[in-house]
Structure 1
Amino acid sequence: MKKHLALILTTVLTLAACSAPSSEREEPQSSYSGPDPAAGSDYTGPDVTGLTTDDWKTTVVSDELNYPWEVRISDGTLIVTEIEGTIAMIDVDGNLERHDVRTSNPVRHDGGSGLMGLALADDFTDSGIAYIYYTYADGSALKNRIAEAHYDGKSWTETRSLLDDIPGHELYNGGRLAIGPDGNLYATTGWVHNEDYPQDRSSLAGKILRMNLDGRPAAGNPFDDSYVYSYGHRNPQGLAWDSEGRLYSAEHGESANDEINRIVPGRNYGWPLVQDDSRRAGMDAPFLSSGSDTWAPSGIAFAGDDLLVAALGA
């Protein structure tokens, strides 16, 4: 029996629980025969099942942030990327320190491009190692880079590039990074307003990518010698794994039609050939679609069996 998933839209949205009717959804199928991405997962989260809007409280931690993009936490300190190329660190007392990130190419903030994703190594507290996703200029073109970075207690510095030449755009860059329960680094990339890229497995645009922490394609990826984990994406924003190690992603649609997708390795999620709940042979329909409403989803995270989605629309 399919496990019930509750979706709670947060941030600007009024909190509301939604679910995908199990009788109307087919389990995605894949020919993938690599290692189980859920292997070794020991995820546990707080049980928020049954909470109502009256149970949710908000506290302003800081109102000094400049276009915040990704939020991580380490030893009680919030670590927040800001799109112009800075990282804000907010301690338990609400004190904020802002650091310029020294990168091998200047961060290019152009509309929605800039310093976006951040993932912390498991031993970040001791090693200071993290992973960043940012936009840079390559002549007149925008490109995105996934890089390793180091925090020495005083400053943030890129230490090596893991993957260059990801197509960039003023708006559609994806940009999320997350370390999965399998220990690999996952990244979302946008379609950069090119209708060919999402369906082209040789392009890095419009994809979810999976790599080792040293930047090589992860062993067992569904396509040989490729970073591509799934394709046919428009502008995927959030990545999160449930308690059974299944990966979900939140994705911006066009003119509403925002999506929550259950990601199966090697599967095609349809953009730009289909969106919303439309079906086409060889392409997966979304697990949940906003239809004519707009969520404008960003980061996502599981709390127990509930998927929390930060959103900018109602």
Structure 2
Amino acid sequence: MRRFVGFAAVAALVLGGCSAEGAGGTAPATTTPAGLRVDVVADGLSHPWDVGFLPDGRLLVPQRPGRIALVAPDGQVTDVEADLGDVVARGEGGLMSLVVHPDFATSRRFTTCANTASDVRLVTWELDGTRATRVKDPLLAGLPSSPSGRHSGCRMALDRDGNLLVGTGDTARGDVPQDRSSLGGKVLRVDLATGEGVAGNPFGDRIYTYGHRNVQGVAVRQDGMVFTAEHGPSTDDEVNVLKAGGNYGWDPSRGGTVGGYDEDVPMTDLERFPDAVPAAWSSGSPTEAICDAAFLVGEQWGALNGVLAVTALKGAKLLLFTVTQEGGVHSVAIPPELDGAYGRLRGAELSPDGSLYLTTSNGTDDKVLRLTNPT
């Protein structure tokens, strides 16, 4: 099923200077260039979490309840035959991120991340036609999971060297983000073939950064700089720039002095952790529940070339961040046709042809969207 909507010139969003209110957050809002186009590539899905691109133009789309859709170029959807019986979809958890291996043309391999009854784990599969079989089960196990599914997220991306970056949630446990013996509330960097930590990781294990609350998006810029999108509590969703070994300052346990999950602490607690890495952007209040992230790359994007696109669940919009060479956020724009028009937006992946694929996450009749700049 394919349809599109174009949009005309957009008036500036009046959020005022560097106000922390609304979608502008800690950066001023800007106008959005005219002429973008949204196509509905596929529909009838349920909480599609991600999009993986195959060399023949088909898409692999994992759905949170525990299904993988194979989407043909004409939009036809076929279920992949795969043993996903161990996937436990509860709360925010279930079948989540998917990464197609760079050598898929010969290996036929892709990796998924999902909740099971005991943990969150990565599994590598081999696709033969419409059937997928497990070839590395697990690639990595033991990522913590919450019984309710809260903050059990798992977002994967490949860095410039082909290593697998994995953003995880803190499972709503106060001591997890600062605990380097736990894989929760972290960004991991592991070998795509073995699941082991990469040589040069800052702590000699799988952990690349820590002190995170709930990483929902990981985007790698062409120069190798890695940006993440992260859910805040009642205030301060964050866009962060990763620095090897960095502490991102989330500590609901207040240094182990309180029990439970105290969400009144700052998202990045620079008083408790003076060396914590400050956010490149914070939403302030209200939060948007920002999710996946991808860079727009290519001359076809015109003035948007190099912009960081970030989806929002609660905000039900796409945010376009103009970022500096050093990793700061200069300004934010919101395309009006992706401001509430499709409900909650989750996945964001740049395709080989440079177009941006997005997924909705409304629970019924969810869609895969394609965003282009035809002008």
TM-score range for the pair, normalised by the shorter chain length: 0.7 to 0.9
Whole-angstrom distance in 1 between the partners of 2:12 and 2:45 = 23
Match of 1:167 in 2: 144
> How big is each residue's C-alpha offset from its partner over 1:37-81, in whole Å with a ceiling of 9 and x where there is no partner?
xxxxxxxxxxxxx98253222111122111111112223212110
Which residue, 160, 177, 199 being the options, matches 1:198?
A: 177
**Residue type of the alignment partner of 1:309:** V
8 Å Cα contact 2:79-2:130 kept in structure 1: no
Q: Summarize the Cα distance change of 1:264–1:238 in structure 2 as closer, same or farther, 3 Å threshold.
A: same
Partner of 2:62: 81
Post-superposition offset of 1:276: 4.7
For residues 167 and 278 of structure 1, the distance between their equivalents in structure 2, rounded to whole angstroms, comes to 23
Separation of aligned partners in 2, 1:167 and 1:245:
28
- 1:208 partner SS: strand
What residue number does 2:102 align with?
A: 122
Give the match for residue 291 of structure 1: 284
Matched, 1:279 2:263: no
Equivalent position of 1:66 in the other structure: 46
Question: One-letter code of the match for 1:123?
Answer: D
- Find the residue that maps to 1:222 and give its secondary structure: coil
1:126 is displaced (CA, Å) by: 2.9
Match of 1:229 among 208, 214, 222: 208
Give the one of 277, 293, 306 matched to 1:300.
293
Contact 2:227 2:239 in 1 (8 A): yes
The match for 2:198 among 218, 223, 231 is: 218
What do the CA deviations read for 1:168-216 (whole angstroms, capped 9, x no partner)? 1212122111111111111111100111010011111100001112111
> Is there any run of 5+ residues in structure 2 with no aligned partner, and where?
1-10, 19-29, 253-264, 297-304, 316-375
1:152 is aligned, of 128, 132, 137, to 128
- Classify the secondary structure of the residue corresponding to 1:58: strand
Shift of 1:100: 4.4
In structure 1, runs of 5+ residues without a counterpart are 1-13, 22-49
1:228 partner amino acid: I
Whether the 8 Å contact between 1:90 and 1:97 is mirrored in structure 2 is yes
Q: 1:94 aligns with which of 75, 88, 98?
A: 75
Equivalent position SS for 1:199: coil
So what's the TM-score if we normalise by structure 1? 0.79
In the TM superposition, what is the alpha-carbon distance from 1:249 to its structure 2 partner? 0.3
Partner secondary structure for residue 189 of structure 2: strand
Counting aligned pairs with the same residue, the percent is: 37
Give the distance between the partners of 1:300 and 1:159, measured in 2 at CA.
28
1:310 is matched with 311
CA 1:190/1:15 → structure 2, altered by over 3 Å: closer, same or farther?
A: farther
Aligned Cα RMSD in Å?
A: 2.4
